[in-house]
Amino acid sequence: MKFFAVLLLSTLSTFTAFRAWAIPPQEVQDRKEMAQVWVDRHNGDLSDDAKAYFKAIKFKKHAFYASSWHKPVVRMKRLSTGQAARMGVPASVNHKDGSIVPLTSLYVSHASNEEFLTANYSDEIDRLHCSTDIYIKIGLQYRHLFHGEGYPGCARVLSLGKDLPAFFEVSTYGGGTRCDRTIYRLDTEAIKAKNDELYDHPELIDVQKYVKDELEIHNWLEGFTAYKDVNKDGTLEVINSSVVLYPPDLKTKVKERYKMVDNDFGAFRQTAVIYQWDDGKSKFVPLGEHFY
């Protein structure tokens, strides 16, 4: 009897707590109205060019968070995996959980007068074991340049424009529904000195100084990265879509009005940001962020 009494009190207290924390329907609607006004104002303040760019982009929900649409990969020639050993490419790699993942494909490509190898490691049972390594040929040997992991094709050599240097998209599955992606650029000025460096101090060659980290982006939930020539000038822009958190100013206003705390806020809206390469400044410049 005592047990049932305790159980009844526990159930009633839980129900009471739920009722106390339930959000009134009117408050839910009011918060939606505030959020929509904020979004309309933000999108309305975008430049006319940015508005036209976003209007021309047809976005769809995409279930695979780590995807890239229309990835402009440079032309690659497939090689036999039997050639991997003489090129210094491992025939298999060890995943962090102890699994041994075999080399399943090997490609050679050329960009910005340099030669690259792309090695793909795949596991038919678990896609999270997939990884990709990119090598660059320096002198007589290939040296490891990048590593991506978490899904097939997670590191690639890209061409964003005829007169632009080679770019590299390197992605890592970050757990849950997150994918971290970095776009690097080949430093064509730095790599000009490779022959002198090989002649003077071949043991000191560091291939990482031949590339620059240009753009770090993140995908959440149904996010994706796309490449599109939005202003029709022959150069591809990078378009990143993801779910974002509440904007700080809107979050502050809602907190003050409804006595909320940080833990009461979840994801806000799906957004898209367009990044354009500025050759004069040698960096990606954001053209605007559109909230959906």
pLDDT at 11 over 60: no
The predicted-structure confidence for 246-268, as pLDDT tens digits, reads as follows 999 999 999 988 888 888 888 89
pLDDT at 291 over 60: yes
Which alpha helices (H) appear in the chain, and where do they start and end?
A: 2-21, 25-44, 48-56, 194-200, 248-258
Two structure tokens written together for 254: 């809602």
pLDDT at 9 over 60: no
Above pLDDT 90, what percent of the chain? Answer: 60
pLDDT for 262 equals 83
Triad 95, 114, 67: Cα angle to 5°: 45
**Averaged pLDDT for residues 277-289:** 93
- Contact indicator for 158, 166 with CB cutoff of 8 Å: yes
